[in-house]
Chain A
Amino acid sequence: MPPGVEGPPPLVYSPRSLGEALALFVPNPHAQLFAGGTAWQTEHLTSSIRLPGVTISLHLAEDLRKVAYGERFLDLGGALSLNQLLSVGGPWVPAILKDAARVIGTSALRNLATVAGNLCQKGVLGDLFPPLHLLGALCEIRNLRGSRWLSAQQIAEDGRVVLAAGEILTRVRIPQEDWPLVFYQKIGNIRTPWDERLALSGLARTKNGQLEGFRLSFHLPHSGLVRIRELEGELTGQTLPLSHRERTQAVDKVDEALGLLPVPASVFQRDRVLHMTRWILTRLDDE
């Protein structure tokens, strides 16, 4: 018996399709899903894996790894690995999503880590979520009776995708929209203290010297996602370059939003968020 675990070895099923995986929930309604296992392992640091009594491992379910794209949507299979996501050629995968995926773990871990695993991991909001939120993505959750769609807003409120017993996150649907200006910066990683970690995501589109579209969010791990829609609305339609007053007001608005968080941002986080906001506004002016 491996060290640190007790009792008989758990039962592990490895279905080859989504249908098989869902069918396994009939005799095992409380079976736990196992995707890449990277979040669990990097958190627990043990030579053994504590699995529940019955586990459904999705590593052989090829239909959950599919990428489908059309004119309006991009669909990413839930069990698609991050490196598979990064290796999709052409303009189909939004650049901001690739930027976020590229700085998750190491290359070898990205071969295991999955899109759905990133969104469903316990404790923290996954790194893919802030870009998906800005892009207006939806998650399809299926069980044997049917399916439901979860909006990014709902996920942000819950802090992660919460699956009920018998449910699987089958795909993430991203609307196809052109965002030529992409901003993504992540500070810290899993080993960095919580109050020194943050990620910034931003999307912008300009036309004839005007800011045609603008979306911005900050992700502070202990406070969740901060998106200031009022600011986005105010800046959208503005003529570029922005005036000094407009820029100062924008930075003040971000600062104000940080002050309203349930868990206050640390001095470091506040400083970095304001710095990054100024950086984005400067970049917009460059356009």
Chain B
Amino acid sequence: MWRGAGLALASLVSLGCGAPTEIEDVPYDSRYGDSTQLDLYLPNESGPQPAIMLIHGGAWRFGDKRHFDNAARRFARSGYVAASINYRLVPGGEFPNAPRDTACALAFLQKNADEYGIDPKRIAVMGYSAGGHLASLLGVAYDTPSLAPDCSSGRPERPAAVIPGAGAHDLRDRADARWIQDFMGGTLGELPDEYEQASPIAQIDADEPPYLLVSGGGDWIGATEQSRWMRDALRAQGNEADELRLAGGGHLLQPGADPGELQIEVLLETPEAWLVIADFLARHIGEP
């Protein structure tokens, strides 16, 4: 433990070294302006590096790619290429537009991998809340014809790993929620096929990428139980899937270093989640 404390202190002293190169507002689909841009965080290491595509939350209606800038900088300082994306929001981002944008962004990164020093076979997708849903859907439906993007980058290849945080995986189960109806553009009764297409749990086949699902036991916005359903459904088809559930973890309030304090942050930035994510990435897209 004390050796660890020494390492921690040394790491803290070195904080700020190796600042990544940041390229803002890169258009991955020039047709929709700011809505389809991404920010790139490039590590100092040269050569093809594993990458992480980050998808922000906000009930498909709010939010911005800058929500993930702290995480993206940390990934980039660690040697990963990080790309935090915008996507079309409601109104305008109704299903299937937002999922098509995320597929287009992934295809853009794969197609331009050489330019940004990315290994195109080692790109993980991570999202939170609505972004968790979009990441989960991209993982299982990247090759679904109805969700194929019509942007110039074409269709994406399979992502190497998927990390959905606090996301919904079966929209049919939460179909009474207004924000889901707004995203879907109608009710479950009106659009049963679309609800099924938008539900990652209904799209699972064998040979899906490995999943790490992160959920909060006290998350009254996110669909906590759905993470377990998704994990079990993936495993039932022979896929690799694990779930980290954090007792006391809310949607935007988490216990801090002082377990009695609640802090405004997302589940993915708790110490438990950082540890599990670091391990998951190292095993599935490799350490930089």
Asked if A and B are interacting partners, one says no
B residues adjacent to A (C-beta < 8 A): none
